[in-house]
Structure 1
Amino acid sequence: MSRLDWLNGLPLEEAQAEFLRCCGSRRWAEGMARARPFAQETAVYTEAGWLWSQTGPEDWKEAISHHPRIGDVSQLRERFKATGTWSAQEQKGVQGASEEVLQALADGNREYEERFGFTFLICATGKGAPEILEQLRERLNNPPPLEMRIAAGEQAQITRLRLEKLLTSP
């Protein structure tokens, strides 16, 4: 049985739980679960993008709240068990960063959260700690409405990557 067939065959609540692993917006996950069955994987990605485009700031904040801070390994293990492995893979570029860079990320995360009211979110796959830190510092200068939209775009990228993982790995 293909992963797509498996996903299509799940009971509604179980499908919602799987979609929540990809994106923490309950409204989005419910919409994805109701949109099944999908004829092919591309339909999953198309529906995911369309449903995300129908969401707004409250949904975005809910989804962002399901992410650990960049570089916070203890938070990954404790709070994000359902997605911790995926998050650790996505943040692989932070591993081995110097203490100076890790401290700057921690300080930047605190400043970001104070300024915007939510966790700094970036699609970290393929990015090293210095690049992430540079983008964090740049984004601190954004007006809040713009930053919210940027973070929502980052969430959309992460969701796509996680849907691909959901559909390819048991």
Structure 2
Amino acid sequence: MSLTKLNALTTQQAKQQLEHCCTAPRWIEGMLKTMPFKSNEHLFESAQNVWDQLAESDYLAAFEGHPQIGDLSTLSKKYAATAQKAGHEQSGMSKADESTLTKMIALNNDYLNKFGFIFIVCATGKTAQQMLELIEQRINNDRNTELHIAANEQAKITKIRLETLL
């Protein structure tokens, strides 16, 4: 889709397209208020500016739009809005051996229990082993630090999805 076509969408159509990039309702609302976008760069800057003004509850809403890393079986059910993108982004996990997947699942559960939200990482281009190493490192963070890291990772994911949209 071109930027011109994105700008020409109805509010409902634009909302649906933006939801494929980030599921946080307040982020989507902020983006709709910013339309029309003057350029691709304006779109990306707006996405970051709106994201930077959100609160923890908005971050958590965005995180809810993701399956756990390595849990590709839930993509088509719970995460319909982002399933195709998340599956591609997590393609490194599809090549993981059973030991790596088992560790990832266990750490995902520990992470969720510790922080109250799933492990968020910009998985594009990362191998299963790299993602496993990241969760092993990050699980030792305190909640505030981890929330900040996860929010930054979500912003990266959103930008990549916006680039793909265009």
Fold shared by both chains (TM-score > 0.5): yes
Pairwise TM-score range, normalised by the shorter structure: over 0.9
Cα distance in 2 between the residues matched to 1:117 and 1:139? 14
Partner of 1:54: 53
- State the one-letter code of the partner of 1:80: Y
Identity of aligned residues (%): 39
Deviations 1:123-158 (A, max 9, x none): 000100111011101111001011000000000000
Cα distance in 2 between the residues matched to 1:115 and 1:45? 32
CA RMSD of aligned residues (A): 0.9
Task: Map residues 1-170 of structure 1 onto 2, 5 A cutoff.
Answer: 3-167=2-166
- State the one-letter code of the partner of 1:94: M
List alignment gaps of at least 5 residues for structure 2: none
State TM-score, norm by structure 2.
Answer: 0.97
SS, match of residue 22 in structure 1: coil
Cα distance in 2 between the residues matched to 1:137 and 1:45? 31
Following superposition, the deviation at residue 13 of structure 1 comes to 2.0
SS, match of residue 140 in structure 2: coil
List alignment gaps of at least 5 residues for structure 1: none
State TM-score, norm by structure 1.
Answer: 0.95
Cα distance in 2 between the residues matched to 1:67 and 1:24? 9
Aligned residues: 166
